[in-house]
């Protein structure tokens, strides 16, 4: 339904379940052309532009203006920035606002923002009227390389991250690396953690390449960034195509996330998602090394790549061990309360569903 846009690398993702197919379009400067692209495909549909207040100010108003000038009926739905918005309360408020203002089955949600906006707007689109279309326009590195593709949407529950959600694929994803120029440095580094995760889990050559270029990557260098984003999206797309519902292989993308999610929640969301993932990657690699699964050399190498990206690799001492252990037991990946891990054997070679004896977890938590 959404037209192929010329002159940009388009990754076509086809998901096996009921014939869903969508394009992920990546190109510097693409954002400015979105009104005409969307007008061609969705002129008569009412549009709900969901974004957070930071992104609204930077990009949302101009997109709203562009779509309105193109003749489309657009309503802006604004949420507060931050992980706190991935909540039942925010999702409910969005449902209410959209129902009051005449959302219908043909309405289109545009999720313009980082992973928080993508997850909550996607969840609202998945659940309203049993599902309406959503287009993802990711504006953080993390959302561009990871969360906007793959169809996982959801909100947090007080008992843990991402515990309430759905699979709801976007109709299209539009990625413009230029939007990253305004991203705070800390958010940029957080996105690099997911890039390093994807490479470590799936692609030895890309991982070796990243090792060399990570220190030089920055927000303003679109020329260097675009191929990195494209590679990461292609890898994720290949995994999702193979295993849309995460019955098996897709779990490799959870590398670093068992400890990562627990640490993120235990920090009271003071850590950025990518920072928590970096800590999780390094901590899980150290545990894998102690269990004899990964070499000490590879574990050290992964930690040094993360450090060279400016990311943390140790669980901060301020985080209580008991809070991390509690988080581990409610993790989605746990099996009757026993956390399960994706463990690296070597770059691009993972074991899935590994149970880690408590002694190894206790040792990692003690050594800080």
Ligand X SMILES: NC(=O)c1ccc[n+]([C@@H]2O[C@H](COP(=O)([O-])OP(=O)(O)OC[C@H]3O[C@@H](n4cnc5c(N)ncnc54)[C@H](O)[C@@H]3O)[C@@H](O)[C@H]2O)c1
Residues serving a catalytic function are 130, 152, 194, 236, 246, 250, 254, 257, 261, 273
- Give yes or no for residue 90 binding ligand X (CB under 6 A): no
Cβ pair 50, 118 in contact under 8 A: no
DSSP β-bridge partners for residue 47: 74, 108
Q: How far apart are CA 173 and CA 182, in angstroms?
A: 20
Least distance in Å: CB of 226 to ligand X? 15
Q: How far apart are CA 228 and CA 175, in angstroms?
A: 12
Q: How far apart are CA 260 and CA 250, in angstroms?
A: 17
Stretch that binds ligand X, among 136-144, 166-174, 199-207, 279-287 (CB under 6 A): 136-144
- Give yes or no for residue 179 binding ligand X (CB under 6 A): yes
- Closer residue to ligand X (CB): 83 or 331: 83
Q: How far apart are CA 112 and CA 138, in angstroms?
A: 6
- Closer residue to ligand X (CB): 84 or 215: 84
Q: Residue 296, Cα to own-chain centre: how many angstroms? A: 29
Considering only 86, 189, 197, 333, the residue that binds ligand X (CB under 6 A) is: 86
What region, left, alpha or beta, does residue 150 occupy, with left being phi > 0 and alpha being psi -120 to 50 degrees? left
Considering only 97, 182, 220, 307, the residue that binds ligand X (CB under 6 A) is: 182
What letters, b where the CB count within 10 A reaches 16 and e where it falls short, cover 96-115? ebbeeeebeeebbbbbbbbb
- Closer residue to ligand X (CB): 81 or 227: 81
Cβ pair 148, 136 in contact under 8 A: yes
Using the Cα atoms of residue 242, residue 244, residue 245 and residue 251 in order, give the sign of their dihedral: positive
H/E stretch holding 182 reads: none
Q: Which of residues 183-212 bind ligand X (CB under 6 A)?
A: 183, 187, 190
Stretch that binds ligand X, among 112-120, 123-131, 280-288, 352-360 (CB under 6 A): 112-120
- Give yes or no for residue 76 binding ligand X (CB under 6 A): no
- Closer residue to ligand X (CB): 152 or 286: 152
> What proportions of the chain, in percent to the nearest 5, are helix, strand and coil?
55, 20, 30
Stretch that binds ligand X, among 88-96, 135-143, 290-298, 357-365 (CB under 6 A): 135-143
- Closer residue to ligand X (CB): 169 or 340: 169
Least distance in Å: CB of 315 to ligand X? 18
Interface mask toward ligand X for 216-255; x: CB under 6 A? ----------------------------------------
Q: Under rule CB under 6 A, how many of the chain's residues touch ligand X?
A: 31
Q: Which residue has the tokens 């890898």?
A: 235
- Closer residue to ligand X (CB): 182 or 308: 182
Q: How far apart are CA 293 and CA 183, in angstroms?
A: 37
Q: How far apart are CA 46 and CA 104, in angstroms?
A: 8
Stretch that binds ligand X, among 10-18, 31-39, 61-69, 114-122 (CB under 6 A): 114-122
Site of interaction with ligand X (CB under 6 A): 52, 54-55, 58, 81-83, 86, 113-117, 119, 139-140, 142-143, 146-147, 150, 152, 162, 179-180, 182-183, 187, 190, 272-273
């Amino acid at each position: 339904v959404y037209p192929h846009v010329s002159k940009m690398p388009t990754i076509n993702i086809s998901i096996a379940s009921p014939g869903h197919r969508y394009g992920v379009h990546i190109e510097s400067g693409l954002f400015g052309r979105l009104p005409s692209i969307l007008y061609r495909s969705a002129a008569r549909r009412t549009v709900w532009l969901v974004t957070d207040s930071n992104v609204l100010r930077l990009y949302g108003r101009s997109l709203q203006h562009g779509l309105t000038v193109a003749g489309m009926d657009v309503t802006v739905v604004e949420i507060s920035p931050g992980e706190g918005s991935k909540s039942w309360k925010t999702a409910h408020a969005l449902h209410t606002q959209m129902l009051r203002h005449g959302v219908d089955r043909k309405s289109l949600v545009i999720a313009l923002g980082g992973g928080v906006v993508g997850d909550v707007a996607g969840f609202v689109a998945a659940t309203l009227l049993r599902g309406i279309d959503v287009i993802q326009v990711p504006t953080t590195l993390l959302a561009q390389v990871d969360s906007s593709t793959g169809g996982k949407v959801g909100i947090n529950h007080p008992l843990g991250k991402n515990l309430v959600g759905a699979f709801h694929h976007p109709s299209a994803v539009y990625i413009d690396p230029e939007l990253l120029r305004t991203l705070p440095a800390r958010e940029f580094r957080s996105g690099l953690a997911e890039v390093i995760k994807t490479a470590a889990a799936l692609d030895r050559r890309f991982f070796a390449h990243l090792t060399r270029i990570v220190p030089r990557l920055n927000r303003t260098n679109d020329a260097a960034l675009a191929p990195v984003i494209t590679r990461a999206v292609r890898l994720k797309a290949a995994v999702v195509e193979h295993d849309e519902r995460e019955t098996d292989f897709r779990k490799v993308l959870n590398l670093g996330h068992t400890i990562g999610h627990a640490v993120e929640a235990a920090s009271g969301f003071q850590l950025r998602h990518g920072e928590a993932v970096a800590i999780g990657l390094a901590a899980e690699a150290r545990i894998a090394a102690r269990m004899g699964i990964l070499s000490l050399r590879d574990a050290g190498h992964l930690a040094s790549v993360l450090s060279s990206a400016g990311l943390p690799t140790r669980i901060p001492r301020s985080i209580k061990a008991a809070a991390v252990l509690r988080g581990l037991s409610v993790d989605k990946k746990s099996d009757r309360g026993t956390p399960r891990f994706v463990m690296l054997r070597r770059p691009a070679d993972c074991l899935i569903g590994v149970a880690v004896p408590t002694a190894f977890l206790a040792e990692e938590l003690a050594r800080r």
